[in-house]
Amino acid sequence: MNLIFATNNSHKLKEIKEILNNRVQILSLQDINCFDEIPETQTTIEGNARQKSMYIYKKYKQNCFADDTGLEIDALNGEPGVYSARYAGNECSFEDNVRKVLSKMNGTENRTAQFKTVISLIFNGNEFQFEGKIKGRIINEKKGTNGFGYDPIFVPDDYDKTFAELSSDEKNKISHRALATKKLAEFLINL
Ligand code: IMP
């Protein structure tokens, strides 16, 4: 079975290929020569994942999936959420986003947060969604240099290290994206 993954992120591709263990052939956007700017204009993580998978399905008429992720901080009413990539502005860096979160959280006692990934799979014209969540807390300053995005300020529950202090192997065992990806893999393997 061939399945298009609406991404060019090599890290995400490697992760899903490892989990699926060659049982499904995954094609990236580059593999199908798709260089479109796929719109992500919805106001929810679920909506954005669906928008991206439907865009590819409508254009290529092939089974495909897309993912969308956000960091939801309770004291900020779920922000940055669906706006996680561009929280500090359109051209912002990971560093800018982290600085904005730390500044908004300055003096805030409630530090609880969660990462959420939603995968939208379009299979034979029907949509299926798979969600992965990991709860944790936002610390007061950056720690660690691994990973990306908000990793240096997020400590998962039952750990005393940030995602950026864990090895990628350790993070990939417990992360939001790994949990959603495993659910997708189980679905595909049981077809
Ligand atoms: P995307 O939907 O996977 O592109 O994720 C959107 C944004 O969420 C990214 O630009 C990052 O800022 C943040 N993000 C997603 N996954 C992670 C993660 O595993 N660790 C830290 N930040 C993440």
CA of 70 to the centre of ligand 1 (A): 6
User: How far is Cα 150 from Cα 189, in angstroms, rounded to an integer?
Assistant: 32
Closest ligand 1 atom to 175 CA: 19
Rounded to an integer, the average pLDDT of 123-139 is 97
Q: At what angle do helices 10-20 and 176-189 cross, to 10 degrees?
A: 40
Ligand 1 pocket, residues with Cβ under 6 angstroms: 68-70, 84-85, 94, 97, 147-151, 163, 175, 177
The pLDDT value given to residue 89: 97
The pLDDT value given to residue 150: 98
CA of 83 to the centre of ligand 1 (A): 10
CA atoms within 13 A on the CB side of 85: 9
Q: Quick one: how far is CA 119 from the chain centroid?
A: 8
Query: Are the C-beta atoms of residues 105 and 111 closer than 8 Å to each other?
Result: yes
Closest C-alpha to ligand 1, atom 10: 85
Active-site residues, by number, are: 68
Q: Which CA distances in Å does 20 have to 9, 23, 57, 163, 186?
A: 17, 6, 21, 24, 9
Is residue 70 classed as helix, strand or coil in its secondary structure? strand
What is the average pLDDT score of the chain?
Answer: 95
pLDDT-based confidence at residue 37 (cuts at 50, 70, 90): very high
- Confidence (pTM): 0.95
Q: What is the pLDDT of residues 63-114, one digit of tens each?
A: 999 999 999 999 999 999 999 999 999 999 999 999 999 999 999 999 999 9
User: How far is Cα 1 from Cα 168, in angstroms, rounded to an integer?
Assistant: 28
Q: What is the pLDDT of residues 11-27, one digit of tens each?
A: 888 888 888 877 889 99
User: How far is Cα 45 from Cα 43, in angstroms, rounded to an integer?
Assistant: 7
Residue to mutate, 38, 135, 148, ligand 1, most ligand atoms under 8 Å from C-beta: 148
Q: What is the pLDDT of residues 152-188, one digit of tens each?
A: 999 999 999 999 999 988 998 999 999 999 999 999 9
